[in-house]
Structure 1
Amino acid sequence: MHIGVLTGGGDCSGLNALLRGLVLNLVERHGLRVSGVRQGFLGLLEDRVEPLSPERVRGQLLEGGSLLGCHNKANPFAYFGAGGADCSERVLACAQRHGLDALVVVGGDGTMSIAERIHRLGVPVLGLPKTIDNDLMHNERSLGFDSAVEVVSQALRRLKTTAASHGRVLLLEAMGRTAGWLALEGGLAGGADLIVLPELGFEEAELLQRCQALLARQGHAVVCVAEGAASVEALRPRLQAGLGEGVELRSLVLGHLQRGGEPTPFDRVLGSRLGVMGAEAVVARRFGQLLSWQGQGCEFRPLADVVGQPRLVPPGHELVRTAQGLGAVLARG
């Protein structure tokens, strides 16, 4: 059996640990042939397929990014390189030309949406979960999320000392356009005074009041904002006007710092487990499914049940209640 593997969407920490576990097991344990598809689905559209050997992945456990490269714009069903036309026939032709019997696709909701459609066109697909937003439905923990939480947490811890030293209000923007998991867990781990999530909403008047109360009580405030709740750059001048000229307010957008770098031990282990369990799923021909991570182990979910419905932070989630118990979370109403 000849297996193609690609990493779709944006990069994250832990992808190479996954590729290492997947390739070593498919080739050395099960005797299968593996090819890597460069830059996600773009590699299938532009025929960028190359052999992927155990030697190529063996030393990759600690490396960030993806040795195959990533691309978050190359949708074969609306390809930017062809004016938005449906070029999915190129994907089928590429798979046939290289003799690919199946694809292992690593990614988040957008990647899995494409993978599910490709599977319906006749190319067997197994999905493996990766997204720093942690918003893939029926999947409790996505690869790369823990490493991104550590980046947000460390940034908040560093900002806390500066805020306290200068008596400032500091706004930190974390990724999460739809779901606020990263801001929530990163905010809790980093000791943010306030956390703003897109699922809960917030009133700017309340944010101003809470910042003023924090300034009065401790002399500073650090706020972690999910990008889907508000842009800190847009929020800063309005909040500054309410605080007055006597209070220094600064903002920071972490951006792609949350994606790169060495994976945490958790993501190195999770990537290894997903790679090895993914190899076993390929051998068992569990195609058309996502190998999701739930609780303390893996389970399978049909790709059709996963896509198009992001996993949001429930208002009554235990982590939200934890933040509320600490007086840190803002919610409209």
Structure 2
Amino acid sequence: MKQRPPARDNGRVTSAVPDLAALRPRLPSPLQHVEDGRFARRGVRLLLKRDDLIHPELPGNKWRKLELNLRAAAEAGAHTLLTFGGAYSNHLRATAAAGRLLGFATIGVIRGAELADKPLNPSLARCAADGMRLHFVDRAAYRRKAEPETAAALRERFGPYYAVPEGGSNALAVQGCTALGRELHGASDVVAVACGTGGTLAGLAAGLAPDQRALGIPVLKGGTPHFLAAETERLQYAAFGGRRGTWDLDDRFHCGGYARRTPELDAFAADFEDRHGIPLERLYVAKLLLGLTTLAQEGAFPPGSTVTAVVTGAPTP
């Protein structure tokens, strides 16, 4: 296991409960109607829930998943946040930014020990610039991240910390994402979101009205049935004590797996950007919209339906 020192000193950290309102999140996030002939020809209305506009550094589901965790960390007197992710994790970037903005030290446990000796990619470079201490582990060790022995070793190495799981998905994150569903009451028949860990889908479905359905589009391979079905249900049990809302998954649009892209996906994203002037983040949002467009053309949505796509992030600069 190797680690890289922080890019700068975060300074003295206080344990006061952070004033998240001072960050001025844009809530509820805007709801944008998109005129797209591929939907209109089927009598379907397409809306975009622009969670990417909530905050420039904590966009989308990252704000919703981190908010209650940040409050809990501060209330517990924690000075340090420790979390996990891959080399291109949007969650790591959001956690690092939250640490800088709110006065927490941050540690990112990164999958891939071989990355320690390579130049940082733009995503990890941004984490380091925000003060995150990067700790690289091999993939076998990373798979053991949830084991008590791993937590004990990390605490021995780094001292006390508040742990946020990979992708930020835990019971508090799921509870935070219910607000997304509540903001869409009466606005849509189907609300779709790209899924990496299942936390946003779990909270979204719980927050929707009884006559609304949530649809998850996994961005990584998961086998049959997709492992995210069980994980989403587990998260709902952890957050609410049982399954909540109406939700399902369509796992046909991962384009080869996490962070994988295909010529079809790139061509679709470029065409969507040309049509609507909206830049698409490729790892999640483009796959989501490719899935919804395909489903519309397959006749999956009855005429007269309104379908909302949750835009969870913006392209990396």
State the TM-score, normalizing by the size of structure 1.
Answer: 0.33
State the TM-score, normalizing by the size of structure 2.
Answer: 0.34
